[in-house]
């Protein structure tokens, strides 16, 4: 049996104002073709299907068209869980209809863990796989807030809540397997941040929880899981070196920091041997580039040479190249944008972002490197406000934690829920 693990599609995400629907469509067409070509039996999507909780009509169209295409293929089941960017109620709304297409959607943690433990069957209606479909676990789902509790208490409750939920679904999955009397694999999903997880600057990954941010360890996943399909981190990676606990990573680069990263999806193969033992292999399948991105850094000569090289190179689908230019030369260039516009004229090169570090450092004389508000995250802005208003240093940590909790609660509000 073959399982394909992917996550973090972020359909609808823009890049410095540019819409990317053609890229998302190209990926989903490629994914459907890969499923058919590799005879995939089960597709697992580990969260962040959409980039926002209120996706556009076009984003929804791409999602549902893909599900219909996969439902008509040799793939027997699709399992979709919500990520922190998704609206649980929006994903759940058509779940009963999608179930008729063997598309199983879990938008939020159920009050009964048994609802999230799926037994999937083959063409002969024989059980072939158990999936513990765990979505992004929201703070309010796994922790009861109490007045006067410390930050350490909150962190401990978060970790205990995550651990308890995975233990509960694992126990139920083992019970179901025992009742069925067949030694079938158990796969779990998750959308969270693991300790030591690798991220890239500008990838859009935001911390899920306040404090320790609930960076869980591999030990939180019970040993009965034969494979753990994770989402949230955009860099494809193993957790604590484990072959069977993995992030598939995002299929498209979410920012210029990911431009040189090879994107992939994970193919997991389970072989039944003598009816009881099972071995598995995990193979990464490279995702093609649907829109070339590149970050150019250096002095003017280096930047202009690279633009010239790119202007004569072929690009995927004839779509040209999108650039981020960071000028770091010694010379102060006040007309950098005009020079760059001239350099890319009559080419398929398009510059989405320009950062002139030399002007920032020498002309503006700012303490910080950031040129625009786009370069700051919400925590940076709040910390600047504390500094501007001369808030005493000893008061800032607690104020920052309270601010982070407020922002986190805003992110977790389900705008589609009544």
**What is the residue-averaged pLDDT of the chain?**
85
Which helix (H) or strand (E) is 55 found in, with range?
none
pLDDT at residue 102, as a whole number: 95
Which helix (H) or strand (E) is 169 found in, with range?
helix 151-180
> CB within 8 A of 389, min separation 6: which ones?
none
The pLDDT-based confidence of 153 (bands split at 50, 70, 90) is confident
Q: Is residue 307 within 8 Å of 324, Cβ to Cβ? A: no
- Average pLDDT of the segment spanning 177-187: 93
Write down the domain spans for the chain.
2-286, 294-412
- CATH homologous superfamily of 2-286 equals Metallo-dependent phosphatases (3.60.21.10)
**What's the CA gap between 212 and 16, in Å, rounded?**
30
Highest mean pLDDT range out of 4-8, 107-111, 270-274?
Answer: 4-8
User: What are the tens digits of pLDDT across the range 35-81?
Assistant: 999 999 999 999 999 999 999 999 999 999 999 999 999 999 999 99
**What's the CA gap between 377 and 284, in Å, rounded?**
32
The pLDDT-based confidence of 351 (bands split at 50, 70, 90) is very high
pLDDT at residue 190, as a whole number: 95
pLDDT at residue 304, as a whole number: 92
pTM of the model: 0.83
More confident of the two residues 262 and 364:
262
**Does residue 207 surpass a pLDDT of 60?**
no
294-412 has which fold?
Double Stranded RNA Binding Domain (3.30.160)
**Does residue 256 surpass a pLDDT of 50?**
yes
Q: CA distances (Å), 373 to each of 105, 363, 367, 369, 381, in order?
A: 37, 18, 15, 11, 8
What's the burial of 144, exposed, middle or buried (CB within 10 Å: 0-12/13-18/19+)? exposed
Percentage of the chain surpassing pLDDT 90?
A: 56
Axis-axis angle for helices 378-388, 396-412 (nearest 10): 150
pLDDT at residue 361, as a whole number: 54
Q: Is residue 50 within 8 Å of 10, Cβ to Cβ? A: yes
């Amino acid at each position: 049996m073959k399982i394909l693990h992917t996550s973090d599609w972020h359909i609808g995400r823009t890049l410095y104002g540019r819409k990317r629907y053609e890229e998302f469509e190209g990926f989903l067409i490629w994914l459907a073709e890969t499923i058919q070509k590799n005879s995939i039996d089960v597709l697992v999507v580990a969260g962040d299907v959409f980039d926002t909780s209120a996706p556009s009509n076009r984003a929804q169209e791409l999602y549902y068209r893909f599900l219909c295409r996969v439902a008509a293929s040799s793939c027997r089941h699709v399992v979709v869980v919500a990520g922190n960017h998704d609206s649980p109620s929006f994903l759940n709304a058509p779940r009963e209809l999608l179930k008729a297409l063997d598309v199983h959607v879990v938008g939020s943690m159920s009050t009964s863990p048994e609802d999230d433990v799926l037994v999937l069957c083959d063409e002969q209606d024989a059980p072939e796989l158990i999936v513990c479909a765990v979505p992004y676990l929201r703070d309010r789902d796994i922790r009861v807030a109490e007045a006067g509790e410390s930050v350490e208490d909150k962190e401990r409750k978060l970790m205990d809540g995550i651990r308890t939920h995975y233990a509960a679904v694992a126990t139920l999955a083992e019970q179901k397997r025992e009742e069925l009397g067949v030694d079938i694999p158990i796969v779990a999903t998750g959308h969270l941040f693991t300790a030591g997880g690798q991220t890239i600057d500008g990838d859009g990954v935001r911390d899920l929880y306040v404090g320790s941010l609930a960076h869980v360890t591999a030990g939180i996943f019970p040993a009965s899981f034969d494979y753990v399909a994770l989402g949230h981190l955009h860099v494809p990676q193993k957790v604590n070196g484990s072959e069977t606990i993995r992030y598939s990573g995002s299929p498209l680069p979410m920012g210029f920091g990911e431009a040189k990263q090879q994107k992939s999806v994970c193919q997991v193969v389970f072989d039944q041997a003598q009816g009881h033992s099972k071995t598995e292999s995990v193979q990464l399948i490279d995702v093609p580039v649907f829109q070339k991105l590149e970050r150019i850094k250096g002095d003017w000569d280096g930047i202009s040479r690279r633009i010239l090289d790119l202007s004569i190179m072929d690009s995927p689908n004839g779509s040209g190249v999108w650039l981020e230019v960071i000028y770091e030369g010694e010379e102060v260039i006040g007309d950098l944008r005009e020079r760059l516009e001239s350099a890319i004229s009559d080419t398929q090169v398009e510059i989405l972002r320009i950062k002139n570090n030399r002007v920032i450092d020498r002309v503006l004389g700012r303490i910080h490197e950031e040129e625009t508000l786009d370069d700051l995250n919400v925590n940076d802005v709040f910390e600047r406000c504390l500094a501007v208003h001369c808030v005493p240093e000893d008061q800032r940590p607690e104020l920052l934690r309270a601010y982070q909790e407020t922002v986190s609660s805003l992110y977790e509000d389900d705008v589609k829920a009544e």
